[in-house]
Structure 1
């Protein structure tokens, strides 16, 4: 697409310069800028209101007119990081090399990310962070009906009828717990498929049947799994892919 410095030294908004450059509407020019297709003196600028003068403006040759969708990221949270602090872990340098979502990374994607579906600080695994109100409503309003999957490493000796009690016979914070699915993954790890899990609940459940929790890792939220993403890295969750 066209590229040239301005002939004028008068300040002008970037979207207006792009509209003049391409012969398109201001609305279309804003979409090009917000979509990360426009550079100023070689640096990508995503703010249509940015003021320029004589800088060289270039629009990428493969630029497409498409709405800029809010971003949702899936993070493999390390142990010891507070759930509320997880947005600080999502940076351009920590994006997983294996991200095959096809989502173009934009600077705006790293602003105002809200972590959803709480996970204890001492636990690791899948955390969802999103700018998308649709995702926020789904994971907040429907939280109690969304199944989560955990692997819990334990020590100690399981009490008699312990597996049955874990599956359907315990209470937490004064309320009976709904049934869940639990099985041994190996000699030291239990696998839980559970809904409406609360902070501290898995540790409490294990303690009630004679087990001490060594580590907790969340593998899945609804239909979305952690896969093989390294700890501390994140990938995009494509818009429209359901939890």
Structure 2
């Protein structure tokens, strides 16, 4: 009987980097993984952030000042393109290949693109002035809770911080969001009177909101809509009341956090002084 193993059955060479760090720091496996994911570990002088990386004779070091006490959860601000889902839905899971078989690419059903696919190193804004040092672990375990219309673009928040997530969920009714509504043609303040009448009609039970004309020209006008809470479809409903055709919808502010000049499709860190 031939007991030789095929190349594919041979054990992987070396040991996991996390195991080497457990030996160097005399720590648990999870702590070793955190040191690596936080960028404190170098292999032959280069920072490595993958605990599963295998090492043999390479020189492995841990930053002398490495500490797990200051590792922080982050919040990301992303500028969602129109026609993308808002990321509240998870990405489709890939079905693992059966044991002993080669992995076969999984077909993902065609459909709207999920903005979570934009949370990559490549989409990190070059104009991020937060001062936060990028770690691969910052792109994992991110929650979202404030929906944005599929047709709209603008600010979407993702967070690892349970305190931020709790505020956005529990206090959303008191957090104001601001949207820019581009409509066709030149709009005068008088054109908004049907909306003002609806605002005073208690039977409609509309949320408290403010709407005004920001700029107008014969081709296109910009309306500013501010409303507390999450009210999907409100902008469309109000424009229908006034007979206005929406060309574009964009969320530019959520609470005290503004989209600013963040590029479409890019993300940045929430700065230390920013609060929703």
TM bracket (short chain):
0.7 to 0.9
Q: Does 1:217 align with 2:250?
A: yes
Residue of structure 2 equivalent to 1:69: 72
Following the alignment from structure 2 to structure 1, what is the Cα–Cα distance between the partners of residues 78 and 169? Answer: 18
Q: Using the alignment, how far apart are the partners of 1:168 and 1:68 within structure 2?
A: 52
Match of 2:131 in 1: 102
Q: Distance in 2 between matches of 1:19 and 1:168?
A: 69
| Structure 1 residues not aligned, in runs of 5+ | 1-8
1:226 to 245, 251, 259: 259
Question: 1:148 offset after TM fit, Å?
Answer: 0.4
Q: What CA deviation, in whole Å up to 9, does each residue of 1:197-230 have, x standing for no partner?
A: 4222211111111111110011100000001111
CA distance in structure 1 between the partners assigned to 2:20 and 2:49 by the alignment: 9
User: Is the counterpart of residue 79 in structure 1 residue 85 in structure 2?
Assistant: no
Distance 1:125 1:117 in 2: 12
Q: What CA distance in whole angstroms lies between the structure 2 residues aligned with 1:10 and 1:96?
A: 36
User: Could you tell me whether the CA contact under 8 Å between 1:71 and 1:109 is conserved in 2?
Assistant: yes
1:117-132 to structure 2, matched below 5 A, reads 117-132=146-161
Match of 2:49 among 14, 33, 45: 45
Query: In the alignment, which of 186, 195, 204 is matched to residue 215 of structure 2?
Result: 186
Say how many residue pairs are matched.
228
Instruction: Provide the residue aligned with 2:165 in structure 1.
Output: 136
Structure showing the higher strand proportion among its residues: 1
TM-score by length of 1: 0.80
The yes-or-no answer on 1:15 pairing with 2:16 is no
How far off is 1:28 after superposition? Answer: 7.5
Q: 1:46: Cα distance to partner?
A: 5.0
**For the pair shown, which has the larger CA radius of gyration, 1 or 2?**
2
Contact 1:31–1:66 (CA under 8 A) maintained in structure 2: no
1:29, distance to aligned residue in structure 2 (A): 5.9
In structure 1, the partner of 2:238 is 205
